[in-house]
Amino acid sequence: MTRRIPELLFDRFNVSRESRQKIEAYVKLLLQWQQRINLIGPATVDSVWERHICDALQLLPLLPPDTRVIAELGSGAGIPGLVVAMACGLEAHLYESNGKKAAFLREAARQSGTRAVVHNVRLETLRNERDLPQVQCVVARALAPLPLLLHYAEPFLSRGSMGLFHKGQDVDAELTEATKYWRMVVGKHASQCDSRGVILEIQEANRV
């Protein structure tokens, strides 16, 4: 990787100098931990900026204008949720059931000085939580088929949060299946990092 790739991405998405330093420190830590636990696909390590950081930063112009707090479901390595929080100075609530990945998220937030709360819980338990944070946007990447993803995200969507979900080439089939169970306002944004990818924007999701 050349130094030019991160700088081009930062310029493209208008990332501040302070946020650039946080994200660079995060990537360094990610690659260190990747040697011990599988945070990203091994085949994508050499293209972490193009495949992963770009995937997170492309959400910045899609966030609701009043966004202060976001939630990420199945956070894993914190892509996109933690990276978006670093880039925008937001607060992030990261939901991750794997204890080792949750430990990475806590350390990455600590080292970068990012406001993040890591919830080491299973997503199935969220609908039983009485004190969920008030978030303006909920995000998820490569987590589950859309009908199941909407089920996981419902506790946030039902409170007025927007959903921004990374999806692949099967997105239309997933939307067709999801509309059997949900009424929703859907927007599709072509991925800026993957020619086959789409960012789904979900609003006003209600069960049929």
Res 129: pLDDT: 85
Q: Give residue-wise pLDDT tens across range 118-175.
A: 999 999 999 888 889 999 999 999 899 999 999 999 999 999 999 999 999 999 999 9
Answer with the residue of higher pLDDT: 66 or 1.
66
Q: CA neighbours within 13 Å on the CB side: how many for 144?
A: 15
Q: Three-state DSSP class for 148?
A: helix
Q: Which two tokens stand for residue 14?
A: 């208008």
The Cα angle at residue 106 between residues 101 and 110, in degrees rounded to 5: 145
Task: Tell me which residue of 44, 43, 56 sits closest to 10, measured CA to CA.
Answer: 56
Res 1: pLDDT: 47
pTM here is: 0.95
- Domain carrying residue 57: 4-207
DSSP string covering 65-124: TT--EEEEES-TTTTTHHHHHHHHT-EEEEE---HHHHHHHHHHHHHHT--EEEE-S-GG
Contact indicator for 68, 79 with CB cutoff of 8 Å: no
DSSP lists the bridge partners of residue 71 as 93, 138
The Cα angle at residue 132 between residues 159 and 82, in degrees rounded to 5: 95
Q: Which two tokens stand for residue 141?
A: 């990447």
Number of Cβ within 10 Å of residue 123's Cβ equals 21
Which residues have a Cβ under 8 Å from the Cβ of 46 and sit 6 or more positions away?
Answer: 1
The CATH number given to whatever domain includes residue 141 is: 3.40.50.150
Task: Tell me which residue of 55, 64, 53, 206 sits closest to 137, measured CA to CA.
Answer: 64
- Average predicted confidence (pLDDT) for the chain: 95
When divided into structural domains, the chain yields a total of: 1
Question: What's the rounded Cα separation, in Å, for the pair 109 and 92?
Answer: 10
How sure is the predictor about 3, in pLDDT bands with cuts at 50, 70 and 90? low
Task: Tell me which residue of 104, 96, 103 sits closest to 125, measured CA to CA.
Answer: 96
Res 2: pLDDT: 53
Res 5: pLDDT: 86
Res 149: pLDDT: 97
